[in-house]
Amino acid sequence: MIRRRNASNPLEPSDEPRWYTVRSMHGALLEARELPCGADLKRAFVSAMLAWLDAGWQLGEFSSVSGTFFCTRGAERRMVGISFGNPKLEHRFGAAHLMGGPPCEE
């Protein structure tokens, strides 16, 4: 039997801050707010789902494992989630730091 590492659960209580985020279908950050340390993140997640439903959005796929859900209204689609890192900070992965710089001299 192969043992797998437990992935960190974004909805478990934490002493570190978490963020409530809303993104467009293209990944653009539309809203982000910090949740207090020790907040009941499961309750925040379910409350967010209910708030979007009450606002007339249709709930689509969701995952408590990743702490995200999708909702649509007409042609609009949103990804709502609880995230670990501050989404307002620019994240650069891999060789992204090499992109957009001045061209190399020949």
**46-80: pLDDT as tens digits:** 999 999 999 999 999 988 888 999 999 999 999 99
| 77 within domain boundaries | yes
Q: Would you place residue 9 in the very low, low, confident or very high pLDDT band (cuts 50, 70, 90)? A: confident
Query: What range defines the domain where residue 60 resides?
Result: 18-86
| 48 within domain boundaries | yes
| 57 within domain boundaries | yes
| 9 within domain boundaries | no
Q: What is the pLDDT of residue 64?
A: 81
Q: Tell me the average pLDDT across 27-51.
A: 94
Q: Which residues contact 83 (CB under 8 A, 6 or more apart)?
A: 10, 18, 19, 21, 67
Task: Name the average pLDDT for the chain.
Answer: 83
**0.85 exceeded by pTM:** no
Strand order in the sheet with 68-73: 29-35, 18-24, 76-83, 68-73, 58-63
| 46 within domain boundaries | yes
| 4 within domain boundaries | no
| 78 within domain boundaries | yes
| 30 within domain boundaries | yes
How many folded domains does the chain comprise? 1
